[in-house]
């Protein structure tokens, strides 16, 4: 029986924090361990060029990102799990060229992310404009059914559904149309980021874009540094350990983080601290938990065997190249770039 395909890209030039860990990494790893899906995890290194990066360290960052997923529990010995680099599969770029010619300029101009990222800038690249088409190629090459995307990527997923339906209507059933956003949310959960809030400003999501870093717990943080961040986290003057995101966003955020680290429901955490009034004592308990989590994760990260990881990468890339090339050739035949001879391109 063919398993449904889950496909997700993990950026190589980003430093993950605990919100990413609990909201994206862990749920995906849980699905990879469930054996109910074929899970394609790829590094969209070509997409990295749409933002300013340190080009000299891109390869090292790619390996570092993959190691973090292995340290978090990604089962790379599972044959249903594939990990690969986008740039190592030429079909991604070739499929994008074809899809570009069936995509309207107006469609791309209306993309919210493009408008937000290009507003007020003079050096806007074609790569940023074309981002959703390359993303569609990433998905359609592998007949992916499910793609865990946040709200900022939902529009791109809808474009993927539109372009695949458009091509199927014109040339026959050449693409698997991904499930709509509503069904994606049913599988992955609507709020995939779990929206862990910034420690200093609990009204906004914890984000890598926080330049000060004081409100963000990165997976690479020294445990002692993380302890200081927790102890200086914003709370309130109500002296009541209670989950009330509207009136007590700071302490509510810390309770959420504590529950995730303990692997328990929020209700259990609330019962554990029922009647407690001292925020300082709670922060100290949470800080020790964060320190323990980071220490354990960083130990596992240091123990990741790079040789084993590279073998998995090379094996997956060999398999993915065959799958992607087969789909690309099918499309090339459909649009007239190749002849069909005895049923083969």
Which of 117, 214, 262, 284 is catalytic? The answer is 117
Q: 3-state SS string over the chain? A: CCCCEEEEECCCCCCCEHHHHHHHHHHHHHHHHHCCCEEEEEECCCHHHHCCCCHHHHHHHHHHHHHHHHHCCCCCCCCCEEEEEHHHCCHHHHHHHHHHCCCCHHHHHCCHHHHHHHCCCCCCCHHHHCHHHHHHHHHHCCCCCECCCCHHHHHHHHHHHHHHHHHHHHHCCCCCCCCCHHHHHHHHCCCCCCCCECCCCCCCECCCCCCCCCCCCECCCCHHHHHHHHHCCCCCCCCCCCCECCCEHHHHHHHHHHHHHHCCCHHHHHHHCCCCCCHHHHHHHHHHHHHHHHHHHHHHHHCCCHHHHHHHHHHHHHHHHHHHHHHHHHHHHHCCCCCCECCEC
Exposure letters 25-47 (e unless 16+ CB within 10 A, then b): bbbbbebbeeeebbbbbbbbbbb
Q: Cβ distance 144 to 179 under 8 Å?
A: no
Which of 26, 208, 262, 330 is catalytic? The answer is 208
205 is catalytic: yes
Say how many CA atoms lie within 13 Å of 66 toward its Cβ. 27
Which of 205, 262, 284, 330 is catalytic? The answer is 205
Active site residues: 117, 205, 208
């Amino acid at each position: 029986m063919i398993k449904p395909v889950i496909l997700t890209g993990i950026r190589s030039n980003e430093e993950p924090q605990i919100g990413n860990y609990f909201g994206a990494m862990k749920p995906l790893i849980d699905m990879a361990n469930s054996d109910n899906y074929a899970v394609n995890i790829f590094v969209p290194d070509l997409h990295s060029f749409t933002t300013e990066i340190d080009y000299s360290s891109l390869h090292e960052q790619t390996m570092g990102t993959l190691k973090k997923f292995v340290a978090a529990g990604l089962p790379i010995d599972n044959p249903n799990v594939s990990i690969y680099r986008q740039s190592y599969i030429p079909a991604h770029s070739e499929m994008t060229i074809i899809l570009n010619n069936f995509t309207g300029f107006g469609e791309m101009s209306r993309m919210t992310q493009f408008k937000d990222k290009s507003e007020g800038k003079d050096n806007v690249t074609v790569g940023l404009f074309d981002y959703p088409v390359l993303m569609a190629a990433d998905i359609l090459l592998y007949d992916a059914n499910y793609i865990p995307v946040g709200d900022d990527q939902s529009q791109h997923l809808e474009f993927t559904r539109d372009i695949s339906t458009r091509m199927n209507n014109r040339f026959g059933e050449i693409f698997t149309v991904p499930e709509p956003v509503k069904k994606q949310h049913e599988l992955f959960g609507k709020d995939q980021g779990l929206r862990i809030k910034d420690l200093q400003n609990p009204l906004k999501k914890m984000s890598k874009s926080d330049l000060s870093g004081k409100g963000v717990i990165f997976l690479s943080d020294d445990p002692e540094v993380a302890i200081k961040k927790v102890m200086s986290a914003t709370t309130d003057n109500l002296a009541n350990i209670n989950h009330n995101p509207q009136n007590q966003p700071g302490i509510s955020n810390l309770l959420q983080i504590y529950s995730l680290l303990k692997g328990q429901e929020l209700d259990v955490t609330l019962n554990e601290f029922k009647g407690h009034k001292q925020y300082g004592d709670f922060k100290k308990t949470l800080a020790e938990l964060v320190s323990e989590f980071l220490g354990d994760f960083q130990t596992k990260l240091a123990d990741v065997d790079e040789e084993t990881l590279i073998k998995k990468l090379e094996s997956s890339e060999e398999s993915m190249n065959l799958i992607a090339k087969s789909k690309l050739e099918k499309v090339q035949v459909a649009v007239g770039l190749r002849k069909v001879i005895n049923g083969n391109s």
